[in-house]
Amino acid sequence: MSKETFTKLTATAAPLPIENIDTDQIIPARFLKATTREGFGDNLFRDWRYNADDTPKADFVLNNPTYTDAQILVAGKNFGMGSSREHAAWAIHDYGFKVVISSFFADIFKNNALNTFVLPAQVSDAFLAEIFKAIDADPHTPITVDLANQTITLANGLNESFDINTYKKTCLMNGYDDIDYLLSLKEEINRFDLAHA
Amino acid sequence: MHTPTTLFDKIWDAHVVKHAEGHPDALFIDRHFIHEVTSPQAFDGLRKRGIGVFNVSRTTATADHNVPTKDQHLPIKEALSRHQVETLRKNCADFGIELYDLGHPFQGIVHIIGPELGLTLPGMTIVCGDSHTSTHGAFGNIAFGIGTSEVEQVLATQCILQYKPKRMRISINGKLGKGVTSKDIILYIISKISASGATGYFVEYAGDTIRSLSMEARMTICNMSIEMGARGGLIAPDETTFDYIRGRRFAPQGEAFEKAVDTWRTLKTDEGATFDRELDINAEDIEPMITYGTNPGMGIGISHHVPNLSEIPESELASYTKSLAYMGLEPGMELVGKPVDYVFIGSCTNARIEDLRQVAEFVKGKQKANGVEVWIVPGSVQVANQAKAEGLDKVFAEAGFELRDPGCSACLGMNEDKIPAGKYCVSTSNRNFEGRQGPQSRTFLASPLTAAVAAVTGKVQDVRAFV
Ligand code: SF4
């Protein structure tokens, strides 16, 4: 079943220079009651974004009109730790981000993002600092994320490559998902099922 | 010659349906647990593809995350929660999956009911759309949490695509001090290696301290493996494991059980097997632990103070300051004597019968402190019934504690069980993230014993002065 694809993106970025952002911050549990994948973007970073009376917090990055068009989220080290809720990746996707850049990702989040066609691009601490610096100097600075070449390039020419496994790269670029592949192994799986009964 | 192999590798390798260069392994899954929150979109996916569940007998469902813990016999009041639980009912009925629904004698938190029903066994691969699936590893199996797309994969194919993680062994040896429990062991480990220190690894817990622990205590340790970033943690099975499993509802019975035990005895890491990382811990160094910050790595031995700014690396100062501001604490302060407002005894980390017994033993004949609200939320209907059979419910009632119906409750604050803004809660659960127990709530993670002492004294205490 093909969904969307990801190849290359040049866009502005929203900076969130906080470390250890957990999935409870990305989407708090009380907003996990929906039974579809859509609409979670409204509550992305809910408690950082809104006051208790639902008014927006003026100092939060997503409430700053400068970053309205950002399609890249740049966050501090160890992004997405905690709960396995894929709703976190859905919320990021639904809000309009196509890439998250950080210097470290939690495992489950990384898988969930890839399965949601959001690219988690891991860069060095030093390059992450350069990105934050570039956005600080010019909030509208474009960043180019090129999946085919596995590079991230800033407007000032600085660039760094990022790792992604070949299988997932192919999936993202062609819109494949894991179930298509696994269904092709049905015969072998059947044999396992009987042997492990 | 046979190369010495880790237990993790043995179980993993025995479940690889297909290994292809450049591809993640297709790993066969023996047992799959599902619940109301992370499964509806997976069933939708099956419907869209027009396919069924690969083998319904390998999936078990329960309602736990989003259920009320009061008056469970009545229809759920909150509309969205009711809809979510009803969706689970419909999906299980449509696809033919066994559901332990509200009111069923087997209902409870998914990681509590798997082991107590004998569905969780040594040598298996186990997944669930919940990160604390690592709990099941206490029985010597590979158990880890997955996202909803992966839940759909497992329903559709009984397999999951995964790259093999690296292996870490954490050996704990020595005698635990007075008042130190398995919760303190794991909080200590996480405080040493940080909330991301084991990311990319699968952990085996070993050593004579681990061997001396009950299954309940081992589950508490494996449960929190994810809080240091590890996908899972496991403990090689031994007589304690087999004794726990013997006679459980869905475990092999009679001769089949004895045969299974013979196989399970072979489940151990070979002498000389290598790990990507090894960590040795002396049990005598461990004090009763408490967290002060907003991730489970921010924990201290109870006699220590909250770190001073000078003890924090420059790069982490901003996050550290933000965290303490959220918690309303000062660098360098002591936590002993800090007044608390709530005590929550529950969750898949510490809501098994042994935890409730430990709390009751301390609380018997005492009263909760004025102004403290105490909630005890048993992990399952079976735990609740056992507690009643042993008269623990009376001990709690006399102490002024509120004993509720089983569910995840204030562990994640998804239902109405929330800690109010600004209030302090000593909690036996596993996460102290901002807002985890309710918007602006402040969590101190600790053992059931520390929670019981806090309930009675109204303060954070060093339990060693009380037991
Ligand atoms: S008790 Fe808490 S951690 Fe455990 S499964 Fe429920 S919500 Fe998750």
Is the CB of B11 inside 8 Å of chain A's CB atoms?
A: no
Q: Which residues contact A27 (CB under 8 A, 6 or more apart)?
A: A40, A43, A44, A46, A85, A87, A88, A91
> Using a CB-CB distance cutoff of 8 angstroms, which residues of chain A are in contact with residue B150?
111, 115, 178
Write down the pLDDT at residue B1.
Answer: 60
Residue identified by tokens 């009675």 is B456
| Interface A:B, Cβ pairs < 8 A | 185
From chain B, the residues in CB contact with A179 under 8 A are 45, 49, 152-153, 156-157
Q: What is the pLDDT of residues B395-436, one digit of tens each?
A: 999 999 999 999 999 999 998 999 999 999 999 999 999 999
Q: Whose CA is nearest to atom 1 of ligand 1?
A: B347
Q: What is the mean pLDDT of chain B?
A: 97
CA of B405 to the centre of ligand 1 (A): 15
Cα(A85)–Cα(B44) distance, integer angstroms = 17
For residue B226, what are the contacts with CB-CB under 8 A and spacing of at least 6? A82, B131, B132, B134, B145, B232
B412 contact residues in A (CB cutoff 8 A): 24, 29, 83
| pLDDT at position A180 | 87
CB B199 within 8 A of CB A107: yes
| Domain B1-286 matches domain B289-465 at the CATH topology level | yes
- pLDDT tens digits for B17-42? 999 887 899 999 999 999 999 999 99
Cα–Cα distance for residue pair A44/A92, rounded to 1 Å: 7
Per-residue model confidence (pLDDT) at position B21: 84
Residue A2 pLDDT > 50: no
Domains and CATH numbers, chain A: 8-195 (3.20.19.10)
Q: Which residues of B touch A167 (CB under 8 A)?
A: 22-24, 161
Q: Is residue B221 exposed (0-12), middle (13-18) or buried (19+ Cβ within 10 Å)?
A: buried
- A102, A126 Cβ separation under 8 angstroms: no
> Could you tell me the pLDDT band of residue B69, with boundaries at 50, 70 and 90?
very high
Pairwise CB contact (< 8 Å): B26 & A20: no
- Paired with A10 in beta bridges are A144
Mean pLDDT score, B290-305: 98
Residues B461-465: what's their mean pLDDT? 98
Beta-carbon contacts of B212 under 8 Å, excluding residues fewer than 6 positions away, are: none
Question: Which residues 6+ apart lie within 8 Å of A188 measured at CB?
Answer: B17, B18, B26
Residue of B66, B135, B408, B428 best suited for mutating to test ligand 1, as the one with most atoms within 8 Å of CB: B408
Tokens of B237: 């099975």
Q: Residue A161 — φ and ψ, nearest 5°?
A: -95, 155
Any CB–CB contact under 8 A between B256 and chain A? no
How large a percentage of chain B has pLDDT more than 70? 100
DSSP A101: E
Is it the case that residue A30 has pLDDT exceeding 90?
A: yes
B347 lines ligand 1 (CB under 6 A): yes
* Separation of alpha carbons A69 and A82, rounded Å: 28
Q: In this predicted structure, what is the pLDDT of residue B280? A: 98
Helix axes A87-95, A107-115, angle to 10 degrees: 50
Q: Residue A1 has what pLDDT?
A: 45
B376 lines ligand 1 (CB under 6 A): no
A77, A125 contact by CB (below 8 A): yes
For residue A197, the model assigns a pLDDT of 76
Domain boundaries, chain B: 1-286, 289-465
Query: How far is C-alpha A53 from the chain's CA centre?
Result: 28
Nearest to B95 by CA among B66, B131, B58, B126: B58
Sequence ranges of the binding site of B for [4Fe-4S] cluster: 348, 408, 411
- For ligand 1, say whether the CB of B65 is within 6 Å of any of its atoms: yes
The partner residue sitting opposite B159, judged by closest CB among A86, A89, A189, is: A189
Cα–Cα dist B213/B174, whole Å: 12
Per residue in B318-366, pLDDT (tens digit) is: 989 999 999 999 999 999 999 999 999 999 999 999 999 999 999 999 9
Quick one: pLDDT at residue B377? 98
Q: Is the CATH number 2.40.50.100 carried by domain B1-286?
A: no
Interface membership of A183 toward B (CB under 8 Å): yes
Contact B199 A104 (CB under 8 A): yes
Q: Which of B37, B436, B439 shows the shortest C-beta gap to A52?
A: B439
3-state secondary structure of B76: coil
Nearest to B407 by CA among B109, B113, B145, B170: B109
Which CATH superfamily does the domain covering B289-465 fall into? Answer: Aconitase, domain 3 (3.30.499.10)
Residue B174 has a pLDDT of 98
DSSP-assigned beta bridge partners for residue B342:
B373, B425
pTM of the prediction? 0.96
Choosing among B87, B159, B347, B419, which should be mutated to test the A contact, i.e. which has the most A CBs within 10 A? B159
Asked if A153 has any chain B CB less than 8 Å from its own CB, the reply is: no
B-proximal residues of A, 85-114, CB under 8 Å: 85-87, 89, 104, 106-108, 111-112
